[in-house]
């Protein structure tokens, strides 16, 4: 059974309305998040913490763009590769968050 078939009617996931709404959500999330990343990079006053913060903040563009690409490529079966990339970045994000916590606490030697 094809993912777009639910009986004789098509699923909402494969409609142009869902593509449009998800594109709007991606655009809004990027327009909010990218200026914050830019401001962190311009005002790089505390590099030991800000490098981790910027990496954590990149989850919004990576996750939103990857999710949008998965949505529009559901029929082609290539969405699996995009999901793997998204999940790998999520694992990297956990490492970044723990490293940021270690940095806040004074480094691994102080813990």
The answer to whether residue 1 sits within a structural domain is: no
- How far, CA to CA in Å, does 49 sit from each of 9, 34, 46, 64? 51, 18, 6, 24
Domain span at residue 75 reads: 16-106
Domain annotation covers residue 10: no
Give the per-residue pLDDT at 1: 42
Q: Note the pTM of the prediction, 2 decimals.
A: 0.81
The predicted pLDDT at position 69 comes to 94
- Domain tally for the chain? 1
How do the pLDDT tens digits run along the chain, 111 residues long?
A: 445 555 556 788 888 999 999 999 999 999 999 999 999 999 999 999 999 999 999 999 999 999 999 999 888 888 899 999 999 999 999 999 999 999 999 988 887
Residue 22 counted as domain residue: yes
Domain-embedded: residue 57: yes
């Amino acid at each position: 059974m094809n993912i777009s078939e639910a009986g004789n009617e098509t699923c909402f996931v494969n409609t142009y309305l869902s593509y449009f709404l998800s594109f709007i959500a991606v655009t809004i999330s990027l327009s909010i998040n990218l200026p914050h990343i830019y401001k962190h990079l311009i005002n790089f006053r505390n590099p030991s913490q800000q490098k981790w913060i910027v990496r954590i903040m990149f989850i919004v563009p990576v996750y939103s763009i990857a999710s949008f690409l998965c949505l529009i490529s559901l029929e082609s079966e290539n969405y699996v590769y995009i999901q793997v990339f998204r999940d790998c970045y999520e694992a990297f994000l956990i490492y970044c968050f723990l490293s940021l916590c270690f940095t806040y606490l004074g480094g691994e030697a102080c813990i």
